[in-house]
Amino acid sequence: MTFDLNILPLFRQDGQDRPELPGVHVAMPPRRATRVRSQDRLIIFMHFEGKGVVLRDQLNQLLKSIEKSYYSRTGTITSTLQAITEEINDILLNQNLKYGSSGQQAHAYLTLAVMRRDMLYIAQSGLMHGFLISGEKVDHFYDANIAGRGLGLSRTASVQFSQAPLAKGTLLIYLPNLPQGWNKGTLENVHGQQLGVLRRRFLSDAGSDLKALIIETIPGEGDLYLLSAEAKSARHTAETHPPEEILEDSSEPTPETIEVNIESSQPTVAFSEETVPIPVAESQGKPKERFVSNEDQELVSKPAREIPDIGPILKNAIKKTGGWFGTALRSARTFFLRMLPDEEEFKISSSMMAFIAVIIPVVVVAATALIYARIGLNRQYARYYQQANQAMIVAKSEGDQSSLHLTLNTALADITRAEEYQVTDESQALREEIQTFLDTFDYVNRLDFQPAIAGNLSSSIKIKRMEATGRDLYMLDSNSGSVMRAWLTGTGYEMDPTFSCGPGQYGPYIVSEIIDIATLPRDSEKQASIIGLDGNGNLIYCEPDEAPYVVPLAPPHSNWGQPTAITIEDGNLYILDPITNAVWIYFGNKDQFIGSANFFFTEEVPNLQSAIDMTVSQDDLLILHADGHTTLCTYSILEEAPTECEDPALLKDERPGRENAATLPDARFFQLSRTQPPEPSIYFLDPITRSVYQFSLKLSLIQQLRSETDLPAGVVTAYAISPTRSIFIALDNQVLIAFLP
């Protein structure tokens, strides 16, 4: 049996019902769809969170690109939806990373639904709630641990998949945020009700704000009907074109990748809910439009609404108030003439009268707008504050640990929204209480980060690596490929302008940009403090007040691919080269690495193409990959006990409601390092959440370190931990320091 789908977006903002919900897009299969997509109907619901703005054209372009990409691909529905979600995540993450310093980051909740015959396949990313209502049964699709926090926040896109068999009257409801007024009764006895009735019920219970997408199943021929709640308008009809030209699998086109330039003249990701209309599908097979009458209101599909010009509105307001102000001006003139001794001594010129007649209405209209805006701000603050306070009350009595975490995050989101309108002593106290609960729950230890270096580093500097000794801090600049040194004085760290360590010619050797650095013991033969490696296998030894010294390494038998990371353990140098899928060991005596390269692995060689960093603890090699997972390998020179690898290695997470997994659902790591005794640990950097996670050598989570105050805008680009338990973090050219407890 085949079905049609009625798709009804609901959008209420600040008590005002709006006919169109931004981010909704529906599509029928185009004529040139691949064979496996010829029966698929696509529904997209995209919602943005954060401080950024997604411009109308950008959002429409993104939604249309998703449609184009879907219908040009082959493979299963789930694999295709996964691939598309990952591409959208990459677009948003790159945008957030590139313009992170502006603080205008945004992330997206995305729901992709595909109808194929009598089944609906759904992919959710982000904190989007889904409800499936069939008969008297209500299923809630929501798992923050699986769906993740949203797209654009980490390197891996988390997706929650679900399927829904279609039957007459089946309802699906998707919401980015649950309305405060919704309760268990809101979704009871809704099966079989008309959409107009459901619309009024949902809006009535929602309060002043609601974003929702309702999908209703009715018998039909596989058509989609995008509805809109608005006053009466003419009925529209549009033909649904069946796929006339289906491509054979043997000649499938290259799948369309989503390549959308979200950049604009402003370094932000923009989203203005009032200026984004519903994008109407522009595929060859467009969704039909349907008119549904229901008592006092009609549900009707309609094209996008143009944004009204504010000019005529302002003119009309001035025109309406002009008569009153004209009378007021005449009365004022009569009053002044009576008060003043002679008309000749006090006379208002005609040009001045004209100016006053124009400016006073404008001023009054502006003042009135400001008053109403202020009232609106106070109401918004009060609403979100009350929601946060109520969520906190619920959290204190919550027994389910997983629900507790969700409740606390909801409370934190609400108080954050409240403080966007107004910051008060009460809101700050509530925020601190919520944050304290969450920190205890998440093993967060907050530190007092302060500027580490006197003065400002050049804005052209972008620190990608740092190494710290007891008195020195070394920083690798990715733009110049050079190493900088700051040394500890009585008043903090100061830059060493005489320190030299970077690309150039040193005797017969030419050093290119340095790709990574590592510290050396103070009793090394060359008395160097730091070494760097360039992409050609040249080691450069650098010491304060001394000229650099270069020693070329003997290249591996396969030559160099593209080394990306180095580390030193027990006097041996380890080099990660993902291009050649290798980790090379140079056995040394202190800082002397004059032997040949030794391949770390024996029989079992893991895939290192996505490897980005590594560290070594005795015989254990820990490799970090771009998606945040790690590979753990134990070195052996014995033939009867060859080197073994665990890929992925499990991270042990004993926080309430968490499970051991290859990655943490709320973090994606970018760098790692190991500290020495008395408390040897593995530290990971999450640049997006700007946290440093501490694990034991057995990969058990100990704590995560965060700032107790707001950091400068941007992502963390590097970190280091000194032997004296100082922790440094860099945000491009800004370096901060705190002290471990």
The domains of the chain, with CATH numbers, are 3-300 (3.60.40.10), 310-442 (no CATH), 447-739 (2.120.10.30)
| Residue where the block lists tokens 């997470």 | 653
- Please tell me the predicted confidence (pLDDT) of residue 570: 86
- 22-41: b (≥16 Cβ within 10 Å) or e: bbbbbbbbbbbbbebbbebb
Angle at 261 between CA 258 and CA 263, to 5 degrees: 150
- Please tell me the predicted confidence (pLDDT) of residue 323: 47
111 touches 66 (CB < 8 A): no
Integer CA distances (angstroms), 54 to 14, 60, 264, 267, 272, in order: 20, 10, 10, 11, 6
Average pLDDT of adjacent 10-residue blocks, the chain of 741 residues: 87 84 90 85 89 72 89 86 89 74 73 89 86 80 67 80 84 85 76 83 83 90 79 34 37 49 39 36 48 41 36 41 46 49 54 71 70 69 87 77 75 84 89 89 93 89 94 94 94 93 93 94 65 94 92 92 92 93 88 85 88 92 92 81 87 89 88 90 92 95 93 89 94 94 86
- Please tell me the predicted confidence (pLDDT) of residue 399: 65
| Residue where the block lists tokens 């990715």 | 478
Pairing verdict, β 224-226 and 3-13: parallel
Q: 10 Å Cβ neighbour count for 66?
A: 25
501 touches 482 (CB < 8 A): yes
* 180 token code pair: 């405060």
Strand partners, 516: 533
| Residue where the block lists tokens 């009707």 | 300
The DSSP 8-state label assigned to residue 306 in this structure reads P
* 626 token code pair: 């771009």
Look at the pTM and tell me if it is higher than 0.75. no
- Residues 6+ positions from 578 with CB-CB distance below 8 Å: 561, 562, 564, 608, 609, 610, 611, 612
- Please tell me the predicted confidence (pLDDT) of residue 574: 95
**DSSP labels for 418-456?**
HHHH---HHHHHHHHHHHHHHHHHHTEEEE--EE-BSS-
* 232 token code pair: 């009466």
**DSSP labels for 213-277?**
EEEEEEESSS-EEE--EES--------------PBPGGGPPPPPP-------SSSS--B-GGG-P
